Every structure is written in C-alpha cells, then in structure tokens.
Copies of this chain bind each other. A is one copy, B any other.
Amino acid sequence: MTLSKKPYRGTRDFFPKDKRVQDYMFSKMSEAANLYGYEPYDGPLLEEVELYKAKSGEELINDQIYSFNDRGERFVAIRPEMTPTVARMVAQIHKEQAKPIRWFSIPNLMRYEKPQRGRLREHWQFNCDVFGAPGRFGEIEILQVAAQLLESFGANEKNFEILINDREIVDHIFSNLIKADQEQTYRLYKIVDKSKKVDEAAINKMVDEVGLSADGKDAFLKYLTLTSFEDLKAFVSTSDANLDSFDEFITLLNNSSVSKYIKYDPTIVRGLDYYTGVVFEIFDKHPDNRRAICGGGAYANLLQIFNEKPLPGVGFGLGDVTLRDFLETHNLLPDLEKDNFDIFVTFQDEGARDASLSIADQLRKQGIKAVTQFEKVKFNKVFKQAEKKSVRFVSFLGDQELEKKTILIKNLESKEQKEFNHSDIEAIRDYIRS
C-alpha cells in the first residue's frame, strides 16, 4: 500500500523555509512579551472537556473541539484555546503570587474548522494575560503588548487598527435600552457577530425573529450605527449607566502609546464566552486582507469555576496563520528562504576528507556553524552549492593543501581568500567572525 505524503487536512508541514518564518515570528512574540515583563508558561496539549464546557462558547464544544475518550475513559480534548488552561494554572498559584501576574505562551491549538485563508485546524497562538492589575491598567497594557509585537515587524497605523468595545456597557445596553432577556441577548450577540458580513435587510429579518419590542428593535439598530466613544456615551446617557470606569479607561487610552490605533466598533463583542470588560480585535487595514489578526478582552470571573475568589484578568490571542498573512500582505517579512550558517566546508580529493571533517568539527567547538559535504566537490561546483546555503565562507582542501597541512578559506562577499594551517583553528574562527 502506498501512503499519502500530504499532511492531515487543515494542518501544515513546516519545511525549513516555513519553519524559519514561524521561528522568526515566535522570537518577536517572546521579545514583545519580555519588554513588558511577561514570563513564559505552557500547559498540557490535552485538557478534560469539562474545563471548556465551563466557560467556552457552545459552538466550540459542539462543532469545533477535538474531543475523545482516552484509554482510561477520560473525556479529553486537544486544547482549542489557551485561556481555560491559563486560568486553571493561575488558580493554583495566585494566592502566593505578587500581583500583577504577567504571563505569555505560544501553544499549538486545534479546532475542527473548514480550512480556508487565515483559518486552519492547527495553529500556534501567542497568548498574553495579566492577572490582578488594578483599575483599567491591565487592559491598556495588554493592548500595548499586542501593538508592540506588530510594531516590532515595522507595522504602523497604516497597516492595522484596534477595534474596541466594552462588554459591561454592551450588556447594560442590551438589558436596559433594548430590554432583551437572556435568550434574546444570546441571539442578538449572534446577530452582532454576523452584522458586518450581511446586508441591512438580512439583519432586519434576523432581528425581527428575536421578538423585541418596537423600541427595543430601534435601539438595537441604532446601537449598530455607533462609530465613536462619544456616540456610545450619548446613546447610553438616557439610562442610568455608571460610566466612571469607562471614562477612566478612555482617558488612559487617549494618553497611551496605542491611542493612534484605536477605533470604537459596536460589532466587536467576542461571542458570549467569558469577557466582562474591554473586548478588542486588531484588524488588518489592507483591502485584500480585511480580517482580525488578534482578539482579546477582560474577564473578571474565570477563576470562579475553580472555586477561587475572582481575580480580574485581561488577555489576547494572536495566531501564527493570520499573522503571517498580515506580514506578507504588507511585505513585512525578511527573506528567510535560506538558512544562515557560517561556513561550507568542502574537500576536493578523497584523501582530504578526514582533515576537512576534522577541521569542521574543531570549528564547531569554537561556536562556528559549519556545514560539511561528505563527498568531494569539484572546485567550480562549490560556489553553486554554497549559494543554496547562504553561508558567508567556504573552505577548500585538496591534495595540494593536504600536503602542506593547510586549508583555503574564502569570504564569498569580499572574494578575499586566505590560507591557514590545520592547527590554526582559532585564527580561522577569528577570520570568520571578523
């Protein structure tokens, strides 16, 4: 039987040129997190399904999760998101820990999706969370970390925007101005989620099916037209909403380094899951790639499922698939087609093999990245092979050099060529490093 060479549907084979791009993105993620004092963590690939049932959205559990019974009849799932895991871990240690707790992770996650641009079944996700920050400071910082990452690739306000909303105010609007009950609220959230993808008539039809009062329907449709924080404040001013905290947030936001990216958007609600404060999505501004690269928000109650006292948290997830699409759309990725080694070590006559391989190994002990060829390479073929490897130096060793116990090292950029004795390992190292 012949087996398929293809990867499982919706997953990727990372050949070296792709893995280098991913590693580059991962290193930028760690750097951005480190600049803000976030510490690395990771959790298990599998969690018990109960953990997701407690707080994740219904769609995730019913349609998207990879769940199965293990050999001991435990009902487990491949992690579809990281927030329940980080909440579980923080629940173990938050009592002894100085606040705020700042953590980040880059786990691989799986969802049973219909594969399409920007959406695969397996992806890696940069997760940052801050727990126990007072007031609205955690929300501001989390937005800063996310922006810092994109800025570190050279992106700016021409490339992306941060669309923002506040779940506390949205919940207030839904219950006090639209006067929707719990079931209606649930359905309205679904409509809000879809509202950018369908036309007015379709929205009208969906809203009619919810069964709101005429005033409620008007209020809901009005809500969808809001375009600024001022709009939002004017809209809720007729009710008894307490806007002190929201005002504090807006003031902090306007004075922060991310203010230039911020735009109010009533359609950002991030489903029905665990958010209780700010919710946001970072959007690509390029017309060819109008999609969210990152989403997150504040959640006050995640630790309660572990019978722990509430500890406010704020976090975001940013996936490697959408990030790469974003970076490619804006031409922000360096050329990582080839790997970067220091020297390509070759020999031109059979008898010189041992000496050539031995010198390569001695150079490695000096920290030089030496890639060898096990078979002799004709002088004129060396350069073509070296080009594929993106090395700065090549070495030659033939019968002639062997007799003199020397090796030729050539700098491919300057075309300069030097001869060294076999024992001059440190001199070769210095030449390569210079």
A341 proximity list for chain B (CB < 8 A): 34, 37
Copies of this chain present in the complex amount to 2
- Report if A46 contacts B (CB, 8 A): yes
Q: Contact at B306–A44, with CB atoms within 8 Å?
A: no
Digit string of A84-119 for contact with B (CB within 8 Å is 1, else 0)? 000011011100001010110100101010000000
Contacts of A371 in B (CB 8 A): 36-37, 102
Contact of A42 among B22, B68, B76 (CB under 8 A): B22
Q: Is the CB of A5 within 8 A of B36?
A: no
Q: Are A133 and B41 in contact (CB under 8 A)?
A: no
Q: Looking at the complex, which one of B12, B34, B71 makes contact with A44 (CB distance below 8 Å)?
A: B12
Q: A35-B369, A306-B3, A374-B133 are in contact. Are A8 and B41 (CB under 8 A)?
A: no
Tell me whether B108 and A13 are in contact (CB under 8 A).
Answer: no
CA distance A40 to B22 in the complex (A): 10
A375 surroundings in chain B (CB, below 8 A): 134
Q: Which of A48-56, A170-178, A404-412, A414-422 contacts B (4 or more CB under 8 A)?
A: A48-56
Chain B residues contacting A74 (CB-CB under 8 Å) are: 8-9
Q: Does A237 contact B (CB under 8 A)?
A: no
The answer to whether B35 touches A370, judged by C-beta atoms less than 8 angstroms apart, is yes
A50 proximity list for chain B (CB < 8 A): 1, 3
A45 in complex: contacting residue of B69, B72, B89, B122, CB < 8 Å? B122
Q: A39-B16, A135-B374 are in contact. Are A91 and B307 (CB under 8 A)?
A: no
From residue A173, how far is it (CB to closest CB) to chain B in Å? 29
* Shortest Cβ distance from A55 into B: residue: B3
Excluding A34-B369, A45-B78, 16 further A-B contacts by CB distance (< 8 Å) are: A3-B51, A3-B88, A5-B89, A8-B48, A14-B40, A15-B93, A16-B41, A35-B364, A35-B369, A35-B370, A37-B339, A45-B45, A66-B68, A70-B112, A108-B108, A255-B354
A-B contact pairs, 13 of them (CB 8 A): A1-B54, A2-B306, A3-B305, A11-B45, A13-B41, A16-B103, A19-B42, A22-B42, A35-B369, A37-B369, A37-B372, A68-B68, A255-B358
